[in-house]
Amino acid sequence: MNPYLKQYQQTEIQTSSPEKLLIMLYDGAIQFLNKAKVGISNKNIEETHNNIVSAQRIITEFMNTLDMDTGGEVAKSLYSLYEYLHYRLVQANIKKDINMLDEVLIHLKDLKQTWEEAIRIASKEKFEDEEREEGSVRTA
């Protein structure tokens, strides 16, 4: 890999918001699984294995960073879903099964889209709150 590109990527990761990092991780997991599908098609066991394991690591990170106390039932449900996705990836790796990878990909793409929408809504609400606060400061 180009050393300048690697440095750029490291800087982007280090300076990104938690929300942006979350989306980047989803993108990474999706990319790894697409590469694993190519590996299966090409009968490249090592490429398939390495990419599935990389996706599993990302999903494990999602599981480990859930705040169960604050997140309540939503966090528990997400944990269960991540646990299931991880299990399916283990099975897909053992069986070299593209259909299992496709199943996980569908869930990851849906989750990414949901998170993107939640981030947009939260950003909009934050912006509106800040505008209201600025308005009340000007009138005071």
Examine residue 70 and state whether it is found in any structural domain, yes or no: yes
CATH of the domain at 61: 1.20.120.340
Examine residue 11 and state whether it is found in any structural domain, yes or no: no
| Total domains in the fold of the chain | 1
Examine residue 16 and state whether it is found in any structural domain, yes or no: no
Examine residue 72 and state whether it is found in any structural domain, yes or no: yes
Examine residue 93 and state whether it is found in any structural domain, yes or no: yes
Closest CA to 96 of 44, 56, 32: 44
Q: Global pTM?
A: 0.83
CB 77 within 8 A of CB 65: no
Examine residue 120 and state whether it is found in any structural domain, yes or no: no
The residue range of the domain holding 72 is: 25-111
Examine residue 47 and state whether it is found in any structural domain, yes or no: yes
pLDDT the model gives residue 21: 95
Does residue 11 surpass a pLDDT of 80? no
Tens of pLDDT, residue by residue over 92-109, are 999 999 999 999 999 999
Contact partners, residue 139, CB within 8 Å, separation at least 6: none
Examine residue 48 and state whether it is found in any structural domain, yes or no: yes
